[in-house]
Amino acid sequence: MEDLYADQTREVPFHGWHHVSFVAHNARKFAEELGADTATAEIAGLVHDVNYLVAARGGASVGTPLRARALRDIGLDADSVKIIDEIVITAETHSRGQDLSPEAMALSDADTLFKALPITPVILAPLYMRETGRSLRDLAEKIVSEQVPLRDDGIYFYSESARKKYEGWGDVNLRLWSCILDSLDDTLVVDLVSQVEKYTSIPAGSQSEPGGCWQ
- pLDDT score recorded for residue 208: 40
**Share above pLDDT 70 across residues of the chain, in percent, rounded to a whole number:** 93
Q: What is the mean pLDDT of residues 152-180?
A: 98
3-state secondary structure the chain: CHHHHHCCCCCCCCCCHHHHHHHHHHHHHHHHHHCCCHHHHHHHHHHCCCHHHHCCCCCHHHHHHHHHHHHHHCCCCHHHHHHHHHHHHHCCCCCCCCCCCHHHHHHHHHHHHHHHCCCHHHHHHHHHHHHHCCCHHHHHHHHHHHHHHHHHCCCCCCCHHHHHHHHHHHHHHHHHHHHHHHHCCCHHHHHHHHHHHHHCCCCCCCCCCCCCCCC
From 104-113, 133-142, 158-167, the region with the lowest mean pLDDT: 133-142
Domain ranges for the chain: 2-199
Does pLDDT of 63 surpass 60? yes
The model's confidence at residue 215, banded by pLDDT at 50, 70 and 90, is very low
- pLDDT tens-place string over residues 33-60: 999 999 999 999 999 999 999 999 989 9
The model's confidence at residue 118, banded by pLDDT at 50, 70 and 90, is very high
- pLDDT tens-place string over residues 168-212: 999 999 999 999 999 999 999 999 988 988 888 766 654 444 433
Q: Per CATH, which fold does 2-199 belong to?
A: Hypothetical protein af1432 (1.10.3210)
The model's confidence at residue 1, banded by pLDDT at 50, 70 and 90, is confident
- pLDDT tens-place string over residues 73-113: 999 999 999 999 999 999 999 999 999 999 999 999 999 99
- pLDDT score recorded for residue 204: 63
pTM over 0.75: yes
- pLDDT score recorded for residue 8: 76
